[in-house]
Every structure is written in C-alpha cells, then in structure tokens.
Amino acid sequence: MRKIFSILSFIFFISATAGFHAAFVQADDDEKKYEERGEYEHENDDEYDHDDDERYEEEYDEEYDEEFEEERNANGSYYEQNTGTSEKRITLKQEYWYKWSRSPEAPDKFAATPISSEKTVPIQFKEKDLLYTNVIPMKGQLFVPLEETAQHLGASVIVYSTSKIAEIKLNDKLLIVKNGSRAAYENMKKTPMPLPIFEKNQKLYIPISVLANSLGFQVTWTKQQQILVY
C-alpha cells in the first residue's frame, strides 16, 4: 500500500512541476511580448508620439499647404474643386475676428479687434464659470490658447507633441490643425484659416472664430469686456 501511495505522490509531483514550468514559460513569453510592444508603461504616449504622429505627418504635410496656394492662384479653381461649379472666385476684402469666412484668399485689410494688445480676457460659455485666458490680437484675429479654450467649450483635445498637430472633437464636429499652418481639416475637408496656428509658451494658439465656428458656435464681444461663445 505504501508503495502505491509513493508512486502516486511521485506522479502528482511530476505533473505539478511540469504545469508550473509551462505557466512560467508562458508568463515569461507574454512579458517579452509586452516589452517588445512597449505596453508596460506610457502606452498612450507611445501611440500618440509615434504612430499617430507619423500617420498625420503623412496626411498633413507641406503639400497640404501647397494645394491651397495652387488653388488660390488658379482662377476659380477652389470653387470648381469644392462645389463642382465654375463660378469665379470672390476676393475677400476684409476678415472679421468673430466669423470664420473659410476663404482661400488672404484679406486685403483687417477689421478692428475689441482689444489692441495681448491681455487676459474672460470667455463666457453657457452656464460655466468664466475662463480667464490669454488673448492675443493679430491682423484682425483674436488668438486664444487652443487646448484650454476647446476644453472649456466641451471638446476633447489631443495634441501630438512631435508634429504639433491638434485634433479637436465635439460630438460630430472634428477640427484638425497644425502649428505653423493656415490649413485645417474641418470634418476631414481641407479648409483655409485666415492666419496660421502658432505656439507661444508651449501652447498652441488658434483664432477664436475658427475654433468656435468649427464646433458649431458663434462668437461676440460683450459690454462686460468678455468674449461670449453661444
């Protein structure tokens, strides 16, 4: 009887050892796979800084800006390509800070802005607390910090650190812009901005008209010296 019990105990020990070894090998293999894929830490950072940056760089490069120049220089080509008509392009004489014209033409003159120098201005939106933010007037536009202003308007924002491309989304509205460029993707349709995005103090700045209008809002200036988005 003891002999049988010893044999059974030996078989059980061998089986348990083999199972433990297999599990250890599997766990070791899985760990190596995670290390190779870089999924232990900063998974989202790796994805945003590399894969998405490269993808957007391919889709949103210098040729994108060049396409606007070609369309702007060719008589009527912007309307032909985007509306299917041969209507002659209308030259925009003046651009306004509160309304995004989406015109491919650079304005002949700039409308006055409510402020003439950089300063902190409150932005009023619905029932939210006022957002006190830095506003920079430039050539008829009021530039605001892209990320914090978009988030105040309820949008989600991703800024890709390598390419300086920003993706702004609110419900079915999507705006993609890039530092140094006046070209934008508005719901994946190429659309010109009045002035290019720029960076200051590690923040991207965008015309308030472009940001608000692209998300479906209007903009005005109040008697309380505030920007009202509605």
Closest CA to 173 of 186, 160, 157, 158: 186
| pTM exceeds 0.75 | no
Strand 131-138, strand 219-221: pairing: unpaired
Whole-number CA gyration radius for the chain:
28
Minimum mean pLDDT range among 27-31, 37-41, 109-113, 204-208: 37-41
Percent of the chain with pLDDT over 70: 60
65 vs 164, higher pLDDT: 164
Q: Which among 26-40, 44-58, 98-112, 189-203 has the top mean pLDDT?
A: 189-203
* Mean pLDDT of all residues belonging to the chain: 76
Helix (H) / strand (E) containing 170: strand 165-170
For residue 48, give every residue at least 6 positions away whose Cβ sits within 8 Å of its Cβ, in sequence order, or none.
158, 160, 161
Q: Which among 24-28, 42-46, 116-120 has the top mean pLDDT?
A: 116-120
> How far does CA 44 lie from the centroid of its chain?
15
State mean pLDDT over 160-175: 97
Are 211 and 168 in contact by the 8 Å Cβ rule? The answer is yes
For residue 184, give every residue at least 6 positions away whose Cβ sits within 8 Å of its Cβ, in sequence order, or none.
175, 176, 177, 190, 191, 192, 193, 210, 214
Full strand arrangement of the beta sheet holding 203-207: 198-200, 203-207, 141-145, 131-138, 119-125, 227-229, 219-221
CATH number of this structure's domain 94-229, picked from the four choices 3.40.50.720, 3.30.457.10, 3.40.190.10, 3.20.20.100? 3.30.457.10
For residue 126, give every residue at least 6 positions away whose Cβ sits within 8 Å of its Cβ, in sequence order, or none.
230
